A = this chain, B = another copy of it.
Amino acid sequence: MTEATRRERLRAETDREIRRQARALLVEHGRDAVTLRAIARELGITAPALYRYYDSREDLLHHLADDICTDLAVELNAGLVDIPPDDVTAQVYAVCRGFRRWALAHPQEFALVFASTETTLGTCGPDGRSQVGDQFGRVFLEVAGKLIASHPMPHDRGDRVPAELHADLEVFQQVLVDTVNQRGVAVDTGVLDLYAVYHITQSWVRIYGHVALEVFGRFPFAVANPEPMYDSMLAEILGEMGFPTPPP
- Contacting pair A210 B205 (CB below 8 A): yes
> A175 an interface residue at 8 Å Cβ cutoff?
yes
Residues of chain B contacted by A107 (CB below 8 angstroms): 117
Within 8 Å by CB of A212, from B118, B209, B233, lies: B209
Number of interface residues of A (CB under 8 A): 61
> Are B223 and A168 touching (Cβ within 8 A)?
yes
Q: Does A204 contact B (CB under 8 A)?
A: yes
Q: How many copies does the complex hold?
A: 2
Which residues on the B side are within 8 Å of A137 (C-beta)? 220
Given B141, B175, B206, B216, which contacts A209 in the complex, CB threshold below 8 Å?
Answer: B206
Task: List residues of chain A with CB under 8 Å of any chain B CB.
Answer: 29-32, 107-108, 111, 114-120, 124-127, 132-133, 137, 140-141, 161-162, 164-165, 167-168, 171-172, 175, 198, 201-202, 204-210, 212-213, 215-225, 228-229, 231-233, 236
A229:B141 contact, CB within 8 angstroms: no
Besides A168-B225, A175-B221, A204-B209, 13 new A-B residue pairs in contact (Cβ under 8 A), listed by A number: A30-B120, A108-B117, A125-B218, A126-B220, A133-B218, A140-B220, A165-B225, A165-B228, A168-B222, A172-B221, A204-B213, A208-B213, A209-B209
